[in-house]
C-alpha cells in the first residue's frame, strides 16, 4: 500500500457548483457532483490504509500567462471565457472561490494539492516529483471529467510507467453519453490504460478484512494482475 496513491482530480466548485466554469459552459453540474459520495468513501478507505492522497485543481494565474491562447479561445467558444467574472469569482483562476475544492472533499492534513494549468495532472506540475519522493508505483484515479482531465492524467501516468486503476463510479463525464465509452477505452488491448473498478471493489481491496478472514480478499498485487 505504501507504493499506491489516490489521485482525486479537479473536484472544484468551478466544475461542480452552480455559478462556476462548468455551469457557465452549459454543463450539468449536478451530474458532475454525483461522484462526491463515492469519492468520500474512497478517501476514507485510502486514509485508513495509509495511502498517499493527492488532490488536483485546474486553474490559471491571475494574469493568465500560463493559459495557452488556443485554450482561452476554446473557452470563449464554450461560452465561459477563462478569467471572466462569474458568481464564484473569475472562472478557472487560482485563488478565486470557484477554483477551490467543494466542501465535501477538502484535503486532509498531510495530503498534497497539485495546482495544474492543463488537463493532465503531470503537465507543468510537481506531481511526478511528489510521487517519486514517496516511491509510488500505482495510482487510483477518480474525479471529473472522465473524458478530459481524468483521461489526460491517466494517459500521462501510463506513459510514465504507473499501473493505474480508474474508479468508474467515482468519475463523471460532462455528457452522460461519453461516460461509458471513456471507461471502455481503458480496457482495450488487455487493459492498455490499466483497469476499471467500482468504489465498492476498491474499498474492499483497501480496507483490511476482519480477523480470521484475511484469505478471503485478494491482495492488492493479485487484484492488479487480474488474479
Q: What is the pLDDT of residues 60-114, one digit of tens each?
A: 999 999 999 999 999 999 999 999 999 999 999 999 999 999 999 999 999 999 9
Torsion over CA: 136, 140, 143, 147 (sign): positive
Question: Cβ contacts of residue 132 below 8 Å, gap of 6+?
Answer: none
pLDDT of residue 216 exceeding 80, the answer is no
pLDDT of residue 214 exceeding 70, the answer is no
Per DSSP, helices labelled H in the chain are 13-16, 21-24, 29-33, 36-49, 69-77, 127-133, 151-159, 176-186, 188-191, 199-206, 220-225
- What pLDDT score was predicted for residue 211? 63
Mean pLDDT of the region 32-53: 98
pLDDT of residue 34 exceeding 50, the answer is yes
Mean pLDDT of the region 211-219: 46
Residue 160 · residue 128 · CB < 8 Å: yes
Torsion over CA: 117, 123, 129, 134 (sign): positive
- What pLDDT score was predicted for residue 1? 78
CA 38 to CA 165: how far, in whole Å? 15
CA 63 to CA 32: how far, in whole Å? 28
**Chain-wide mean pLDDT for the chain?**
93
Mean pLDDT of the region 125-143: 98
Residue 118 · residue 124 · CB < 8 Å: yes
Active-site hit among 14, 115, 116, 142: 116
Mean pLDDT of the region 175-181: 97
Residue 11 · residue 105 · CB < 8 Å: yes
Active-site hit among 10, 14, 100, 169: 10
- DSSP bridge partners of 86: 89
Q: 226: pLDDT confidence band, cut at 50, 70 and 90?
A: very low
Q: 191: pLDDT confidence band, cut at 50, 70 and 90?
A: very high
- What pLDDT score was predicted for residue 208? 72
Active-site hit among 16, 67, 149, 164: 149
- What pLDDT score was predicted for residue 225? 44
| Grid cell listed for 83 | 478569467
Annotate 174-187 with three-state secondary structure. CCHHHHHHHHHHHC
Question: Does the active-site annotation cover 142?
Answer: no
Question: Does the active-site annotation cover 71?
Answer: no
Mean pLDDT of the region 16-27: 98
- What pLDDT score was predicted for residue 27? 97
Question: Does the active-site annotation cover 164?
Answer: no
CA 57 to CA 10: how far, in whole Å? 5
Residue 53 · residue 112 · CB < 8 Å: yes
Amino acid at each position: 500500500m505504501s507504493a499506491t496513491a489516490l489521485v482525486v482530480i479537479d473536484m472544484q466548485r468551478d466544475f461542480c457548483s452552480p455559478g462556476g466554469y462548468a455551469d457557465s459552459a452549459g454543463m450539468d453540474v449536478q451530474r458532475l457532483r454525483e461522484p462526491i459520495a463515492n469519492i468520500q468513501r474512497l478517501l476514507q478507505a485510502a486514509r485508513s490504509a495509509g495511502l498517499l492522497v493527492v488532490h488536483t485543481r485546474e486553474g490559471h494565474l491571475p494574469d493568465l500567462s500560463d493559459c495557452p491562447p488556443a485554450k482561452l479561445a476554446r473557452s470563449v467558444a464554450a461560452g465561459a471565457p477563462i478569467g471572466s467574472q462569474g458568481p464564484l469569482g473569475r472562472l478557472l483562476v487560482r485563488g478565486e472561490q470557484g477554483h477551490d475544492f467543494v466542501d465535501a472533499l477538502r484535503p486532509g492534513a498531510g495530503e498534497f494539492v497539485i495546482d495544474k494549468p492543463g488537463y493532465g495532472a503531470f503537465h507543468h506540475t510537481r506531481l511526478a516529483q511528489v510521487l517519486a519522493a514517496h516511491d509510488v508505483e500505482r495510482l487510483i484515479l477518480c474525479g471529473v471529467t472522465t473524458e478530459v482531465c481524468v483521461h489526460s492524467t491517466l494517459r500521462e501516468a501510463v506513459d510514465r510507467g504507473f499501473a493505474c486503476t480508474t474508479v468508474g463510479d467515482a468519475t463523471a463525464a460532462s455528457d452522460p453519453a461519453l461516460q461509458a465509452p471513456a471507461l471502455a477505452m481503458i480496457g482495450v488491448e488487455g487493459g492498455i490504460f490499466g483497469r476499471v473498478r467500482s468504489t465498492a471493489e476498491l474499498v474492499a481491496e483497501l480496507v483490511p478484512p476482519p480477523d480470521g478472514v484475511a484469505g478471503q480478499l485478494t491482495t492488492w498485487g493479485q487484484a492488479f494482475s487480474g488474479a
